[in-house]
Chain A
Amino acid sequence: MEKILEIKNLSKNYDNFKLEDVNFNLEKGYIMGFIGPNGAGKTTTIKLIMNLIKRNSGEIKVFGLDNLHDEKKIKNRIGFVYDECNYYDNLSLKDNAKMIADFYDKWSWSEFDKYIEKFELDKNQKIKELSKGMKTKFAIATALSHDAELLIMDEPTSGLDPIFRQEIINILQEYIEDGNRSIIFSTHIISDIEKMADYITFINKGKIVFSEEKTKIEDEYRIVKGGLDILDSGIQNNLIEIKKNKFGFSGLTLNSSALHEKYGEAIVIDRPSIEDIMLYMAGER
């Protein structure tokens, strides 16, 4: 299968933060959810792909092309939606779009108009009059209007109500339906990921924890719960993360069958949601 995005040994050093040895790939036709707590390195990774910041080491290939050497060719085929970047507040949606449209070979005003209408936006309104959600909708409309083969989105659904988030999910799923386009998006809203992602890449403290097919994650990870009395080093060695309370413990494991064999009825084995996995591996509950 053709790889649309290949990241090898990517590193970036800041004073207080390091992105270390990031490796993952995305194949054509799929959606990758890029998750991790705040400050984990999601935005840094995306900025490195788009060459907004310079990497210290590693390689990034998009559409099989080097992202530094063929920057312009690549960016022509990428649609982007950022969380922070701003448009010209005093200009209308239409004028802002005009300033972007000319740069793309395959820009389509009819597609743009279609999305603007679908999102119930007014082309002639100024950006500063829009809510955050509406600005995001505008950003999404521009990203989808030039036949981009890869959509790179940083928190594309933040600021949107659940009804509209579902609509965006539907639009994105339709966008990749022909199998020729891919999407990578980072988000905190894990429920969006659970629905539409094919692959999930989890980053924490600048390192990739896993990058895997969602079905494999569903197969492999389990939550094991039991009483504190059986919590010994034998169990602990099999748990990736453990949480204890007064009445028992729960832990994330990849070895549920081994534990089931050994402890049988003494433990309860549950399937975790993606959010559960992230909370166990990265946060305090």
Chain B
Amino acid sequence: MNIAVKRNLFIMRKNYLFNAIFMILSIPLWSATSNPMGSLNLTIPVMTYSSIYLIEQLEDFYKYDCILNSLPVTRDEIVKAKFESILVIYLINTILTLLAHLIYSVLGVTEFMSGQMFVMGLTLSFLISMLFAAVGTVLIYKFGYAKTKLFGIIIMMLTMCSISIPLYILQKSNLVQFASAVFLILGITAYVVSKKFALKIYAEKEF
């Protein structure tokens, strides 16, 4: 694995514990809410969000950009590694969450979902994660960590509170499959477009 990606994963070490606890606690709780898929479409994004933002917070706090950009690594490589890390972190979080879900369902605490709702849950989690992490990264590059953080928290709160409504509507209609495809495509688009912008913005930054 790329040195720069390894570096990102190393920096966010502290976050693994928080994520694990959050995941273990939140999965059974979602079933009690109106958003039973919350374990997917929200837990994973929250975990991803906190990882990425922790990395950014540390980088910002320590002004590490100065040292990072003095090392033999190009600006493009730094940005690409950041985006690769987002995917890696998302994947790890997804696998862990699914595993935890499996364990919970075996223990009888929750039901294991499957079928179209499950797919929609996953694709929605991908979309939301990309919006937080990928788009978030571009915003951080452009506006700095402090401003973006506030924005990110507000959006996350809003999402968590209001997401069950559109989901309910979707569930009642027959558009679940369609919705899944849309979420996936939007998620990929968000990732790819963000990466393009991030490359451009970071290339011009001054430290």
Q: How far is the CA of A132 from the CA of B199 in the complex (A)?
A: 34
Q: In the complex where A54-B204, A99-B10 touch, is A82 in contact with B72 (Cβ < 8 A)?
A: no
Q: Indicate if A94 sits at the interface (CB-CB under 8 A).
A: no
Q: Indicate if A104 sits at the interface (CB-CB under 8 A).
A: yes
Q: Indicate if B64 sits at the interface (CB-CB under 8 A).
A: yes
Q: In the complex where A52-B207, A53-B207, A99-B7 touch, is A88 in contact with B71 (Cβ < 8 A)?
A: no
Min CB distance, A77 to chain B, in Å?
A: 8
Interface size on A (CB < 8 Å)? 29
Residues of B within 8 A of A75 (CB): 70-73
**8 Å CB interface, B44-65 against A:** 58, 62-64
Q: In the complex where A51-B69, A52-B70, A75-B71 touch, is A85 in contact with B204 (Cβ < 8 A)?
A: no
**B64 near A86: Cβ-Cβ < 8 Å:** yes
Q: How far is the CA of A102 from the CA of B9 in the complex (A)?
A: 14
Most interface-central of B7, B69, B71 (chain A CB within 10 A): B71
Q: How far is the CA of A55 from the CA of B173 in the complex (A)?
A: 58
**B63 near A85: Cβ-Cβ < 8 Å:** yes
**A47 near B64: Cβ-Cβ < 8 Å:** no
**B69 near A76: Cβ-Cβ < 8 Å:** no
**B3 near A102: Cβ-Cβ < 8 Å:** yes
Interface residues of A: mostly helix, strand, loop or mixed?
loop
Q: Indicate if B6 sits at the interface (CB-CB under 8 A).
A: yes
Q: Indicate if B21 sits at the interface (CB-CB under 8 A).
A: no
**8 Å CB interface, B62-110 against A:** 62-64, 66-67, 69-74
Q: In the complex where A53-B207, A72-B73 touch, is A86 in contact with B6 (Cβ < 8 A)?
A: no
Residues of B within 8 A of A261 (CB): none
**B11 near A88: Cβ-Cβ < 8 Å:** yes
Min CB distance, B110 to chain A, in Å?
A: 36
**A100 near B71: Cβ-Cβ < 8 Å:** yes
Min CB distance, B182 to chain A, in Å?
A: 40
User: Quick one: which of A53, A72, A84 contacts B74, CB cutoff 8 A?
Assistant: A72
Q: How far is the CA of A105 from the CA of B11 in the complex (A)?
A: 22
Min CB distance, B18 to chain A, in Å?
A: 15
**8 Å CB interface, A67-122 against B:** 71-76, 78, 80, 82, 84-89, 95, 98-100, 102-105
Min CB distance, B10 to chain A, in Å?
A: 7
Binding site for A on B (CB under 8 A): 3, 6-7, 10-11, 58, 62-64, 66-67, 69-74, 204, 206-207
The 10 closest A-B CB pairs, nearest first, are A85-B66, A75-B72, A76-B72, A102-B3, A53-B206, A52-B207, A103-B71, A86-B62, A72-B72, A85-B67
Question: What 9 additional pairs, Cβ within 8 angstroms, besides A71-B74, A75-B71, A86-B63?
Answer: A50-B70, A52-B69, A53-B206, A75-B70, A82-B67, A86-B62, A86-B67, A88-B62, A99-B7
Binding site for B on A (CB under 8 A): 47, 50-54, 71-76, 78, 80, 82, 84-89, 95, 98-100, 102-105
